[in-house]
Amino acid sequence: MSASVSNHPLHVACIMDGNGRWARRRGLPRTDGHTAGEEALAEVVRSAAARQVGWLTAFGFSTENWVRPRTEVRHILSLHRKLFSRTEEMNRNNARTRWIGRPFSDKGARTPVLVQKAITKAIADTSGNTGLSVTIAFDYGSRAELVRASRLAMSQGVVTPSSIQANLYDPEMPPVDLLVRTSGEARISNFMLWQIKGAHIYFTERPWPDFNRQEFDQAIASLTGSPA
Ligand code: FPP
């Protein structure tokens, strides 16, 4: 069954919250919650590919997340390298990797070189795939993206919605149809403020590591009947 809204392939975006709480409830370190969160994302990628979703965007690491304890940040970075190295799986699912975040050479950008390399390689190794586009937002913040896009548009002498769109980190990314946030928080947290303009929002109490195929299907089903 293919998932689409008004004839364009569906774009689902996820704010993957609750890894820490998931771990705490089990008496585990927070890092185990993130490890389980990376596995949950891999399962959601498989589910999205099976449902013929067009775009899946996940908030992997925000511009605000750098203040977390060093060991936690290191662990999350290593999980990103793991995620970006799932090339065989991506190819099996005909899925291509994309990335949004502060461009590596921009002032203030913080993506470490090893993660930069993993991102660049994942994009190149999956670029021939024609199905699902999986975008990871890493070192990403929507305000930074919009300030940059506005500055670039101004320097080009035209500030319109389409000139801002053309200067976003990924101008080809279509608007988000469905935004999912897990773990009971009903907030947006500086995530794709431009792209979610008309999105349906699905909040669930489940923490991200428990967000499975059934939950994903339920989130998609919640779109039915919501206005465009
Ligand atoms: C929120 O959990 C999650 C994040 C910090 C970002 C998402 C990270 C992952 C899903 C881990 C690995 C994922 C990738 C993409 C490699 P939290 O720590 O804020 O949870 P809490 O609010 O319960 O403390």
Q: Mind listing the pLDDT tens digit for each residue in 32-75?
A: 999 999 999 999 999 999 999 999 999 999 999 999 999 999 99
Any atom of ligand 1 within 6 Å of the Cβ of 40: no
Nearest CA to ligand 1 atom 1: 17
Nearest to 119 by CA among 75, 92, 87, 142: 87
Determine the average pLDDT of the residues in 4-31: 92
Which of 14, 19, 41 should be mutated for ligand 1, with most atoms under 8 A from CB? 19
**Catalytic annotation, pick one of 7, 19, 65, 106:** 65
What order of strands is seen across the sheet that includes strand 96-100? 96-100, 133-140, 55-62, 11-15, 178-181, 200-203
d(CA 79, CA 167): 29
For residue 18, the CA-to-ligand 1 centroid distance in Å is 7
Q: Which helix (H) or strand (E) holds 226?
A: none
Q: What is the model's pLDDT at position 8? A: 77
Average pLDDT, the chain: 95
What pLDDT score was predicted for residue 225? 58
Strands 8-9 and 4-5: antiparallel
pLDDT tens for 158-195 read 999 999 999 999 999 999 999 999 999 999 999 999 99
Task: Sketch out the chain's domains with CATH numbers.
Answer: 9-221 (3.40.1180.10)
Does residue 87 carry a pLDDT above 50? yes
Distances (CA, A) of 72 to 35, 55, 78, 210: 11, 28, 10, 20
Q: Is the CB of 65 under 6 A from ligand 1?
A: yes
CA-to-CA distance for 175 and 197, rounded, in angstroms? 7
Owner of token pair 């997340």: 65
Ligand 1 centre distance from Cα of residue 144 (Å): 20
Share of the chain above pLDDT 70, in %: 95
How far is the C-alpha of 210 from the C-alpha of 5, rounded, in Å?
Answer: 26
Percent of the chain exceeding pLDDT 90 equals: 94
